[in-house]
Amino acid sequence: MPDYREKLWPTPWIYIATLLLVPASILVLAPVSLPAGIATGVILYLAAIGSLSLTAPVIEVADGRLRAGRAEIPLAATGEAVAAFDEAARAERGTGLDARAFLVIRGWVQPVVKVPITDPADPTPYWLISSRRANELAAAINGSRRPERAEGAR
């Protein structure tokens, strides 16, 4: 059982905004064929929401590992995770961003968690992960990592 699990689904307004593909397709194809415009619009909308839903990354902390999308790392190779909100999150995603960082961020999820990488062989300085429950994710990473360090100290 995972200590933490979250799927970064798009917000409802993204699904609503993509509905604009239907009238746009009708507008473009109406001079040729109105039924073709309607069918194309519906197909484009279904493809867009399907791709948004299927590509939504999963963030998970389980079995001593952090998984973010398709990447994973042992928690023993991570430092103290820190949640950032509002202006701090904006700075982490913008001016404070290191180009070498591993990113699993989504524009529709504002809070982020910064997870430093302590492995000297890894050129990635940190992971930056979007999360709707950033405090819980940071606590799960920090809490799951502690027992491994305690066992290693013995």
Q: How does pLDDT run across 114-141, given as a tens digit for each residue?
A: 999 999 999 999 999 999 999 999 999 9
Domain count, the chain: 2
| 136 and 78 in a common domain | yes
**Has residue 61 been placed in a domain?**
no
Distance of alpha carbon 95 from alpha carbon 81, whole angstroms:
20
**Has residue 34 been placed in a domain?**
yes
Strands 126-130 and 112-116: antiparallel
Pull the structure tokens for residue 62.
């389980």
**Has residue 132 been placed in a domain?**
yes
CB-based contact 59:115 (threshold 8 Å): no
Single-letter amino acid, residue 101: A
Which residue range is the domain that position 30 belongs to? 4-54
- Give the mean pLDDT of the chain: 91
**Has residue 86 been placed in a domain?**
yes
Helices 34-54/21-29 angle, 10° precision? 150
Asked if the model's pLDDT at residue 92 lies above 60, the reply is: yes
* CA 80 distance to own-chain centroid: 19
- Burial (CB count within 10 angstroms: exposed 0-12, middle 13-18, buried 19+), residue 51: exposed
* Digit-coded pLDDT (tens) for 140-150: 999 876 554 44
Distance of alpha carbon 77 from alpha carbon 120, whole angstroms:
9
Predicted model pTM: 0.82
